[in-house]
Structure 1
Amino acid sequence: MAAVVERMNRLLASGNYRPLLAVIKGFRNGAVYGAKVRFPHALVMAFLFKSGSLYDKFKTIFEATFTHSKNLAMFVFIYKSLTSLMEQIQSKKEQYHPFVAAFLGGYLIFGKYNKVNEQINLYVFSRVLYGLAKMAVNRGYIPKPKGDAFPWFAAFIWGIVLWQFEYEKPTLQDSLQSSMTYLYHDSDKWNSLKNFLIYNK
């Protein structure tokens, strides 16, 4: 066994088969990161907002964790495989390689609708929009704000989301609806000290 480990260490240190090994390591990192990110989130959401037995809650937690971990691992695998292949074919990196690889990976992996993919896509979408706004300022496409723009950014998104919650609730994601119901509607309901301070309802 020690000889096999030593041989593997020599192979990994040699730099041979680097593109292939990078794909394998990317798959591993995607699986680990997906589990690390999803498990605590699913645990909190299940115990805060999901009704049902302990078995049902843990089943939900492990299904969400597995889906997130598997999908992220598969996406990284596809992305790194395609970028590596395009670089080998063209003998250099091109700016369009990441877009093409991620576009195909996004369609194949994150294009299948489920709650986990919806949350991942919304998370990435918000970061993309924020990044595009910064890029537009940095490149001079729009003028740099004279003052601090962050308070206005916060004001608009919170104003819009609470208006949506009160008047267009079905348009919001289910987990956001649950969180907002708990914060803004359930706080209007009580009939004793017990469900005023200790329990929600």
Structure 2
Amino acid sequence: MAAVIQTINQFLVSGQYHSILALIKGLRNGIVYGAKVRFPHALVMTFLFKSDSFRNKLITILQATYTHSKNLGLFVLSYKTLTTIMQYVQTQKYQPQSFIAAFCAGYLIFGRYNKVNEQINLYLLSRIIYGLAKLAVKKGYVPKPKKDAFPMFAALVWGIVLWLFEHEKDTLQPSLRSSMTYLYTDSNKWHDLKDFIIHNKP
């Protein structure tokens, strides 16, 4: 058995078939990372906010974890496959390759609507807007702020989201709308000491 493991290890580090092995490792890492991120999130959110039987809660958690893991693993595999093919055809790496590969893989995998894909896409949207703003400063398209811009960024984010919640509630994502209702609307209602301090009962 030790000899078999040693042979496999030698094969893996030999560099032979490195591109194909990198695709398999990418698939593996996507699956593992998706499970590590989604399972605790789904566990907490389901038990905190979902009213259902223990069995149904468990099924919800496992389904969300499976979907996240599968989609992230398939995305990594697709992205790495496409970039590898493009680099093979063009003999070297170009910047547009990463965009084209991710665009195609994103359309095929994360373009199918479900709650998990929606959450992942929204998470990435906030990150890329932030990243593009920093890139604009880095490239000189926008002058570098003379003082810390983070307070103004925070003020705009919170100002806009509360304005939307108060006046255009239907435009917000359901989970965000639900959270904000709990925080800002349900806190206006109580009947006795119990639902004032311990249990929220709108």
TM-score by length of 2: 0.97
Deviations 1:2-29 (A, max 9, x none): 3332221111111111110000000000
Which consecutive residues of structure 2, in runs of 5 or more, have no partner in the other structure?
Answer: none
Report 1:50-199 matches (<5 A): 50-199=50-199
TM-score by length of 1: 0.97
The residue number in structure 2 matching 1:42 is 42
**Structure 2: how far apart are the matches of 1:150 and 1:191?**
40
Let me know the Cα RMSD of the aligned residues: 0.9
The one-letter code sitting in structure 1 at the alignment partner of 2:200 is N
- Please tell me whether the aligned partners of residues 190 and 196 of structure 1 are also in contact (alpha carbons under 8 angstroms): yes
SS for the counterpart of 2:88 is helix
The one-letter code sitting in structure 1 at the alignment partner of 2:124 is V
The residue number in structure 1 matching 2:25 is 25
**Structure 1: how far apart are the matches of 2:30 and 2:108?**
16
Aligned length, in residue pairs? 201
**Structure 2: how far apart are the matches of 1:31 and 1:151?**
37
**Structure 2: how far apart are the matches of 1:162 and 1:20?**
49
**Structure 1: how far apart are the matches of 2:146 and 2:82?**
42
The one-letter code sitting in structure 1 at the alignment partner of 2:10 is R
**Structure 2: how far apart are the matches of 1:50 and 1:151?**
34
Shift >3 Å, 4+ stretches: none
Deviations 1:92-116 (A, max 9, x none): 1111111111000000000000010
**Structure 1: how far apart are the matches of 2:48 and 2:196?**
17
Deviations 1:153-181 (A, max 9, x none): 10011011011111111111111111111
Deviations 1:65-112 (A, max 9, x none): 100000000000000011111111111111111111100000000000
Following TM superposition, by how much is the alpha carbon of 1:37 offset from its aligned partner in structure 2, in angstroms? Answer: 0.5
- Please tell me whether the aligned partners of residues 74 and 109 of structure 1 are also in contact (alpha carbons under 8 angstroms): yes
- State the percentage of identical aligned residues: 66
**Structure 2: how far apart are the matches of 1:58 and 1:120?**
21
Following TM superposition, by how much is the alpha carbon of 1:191 offset from its aligned partner in structure 2, in angstroms? Answer: 1.0
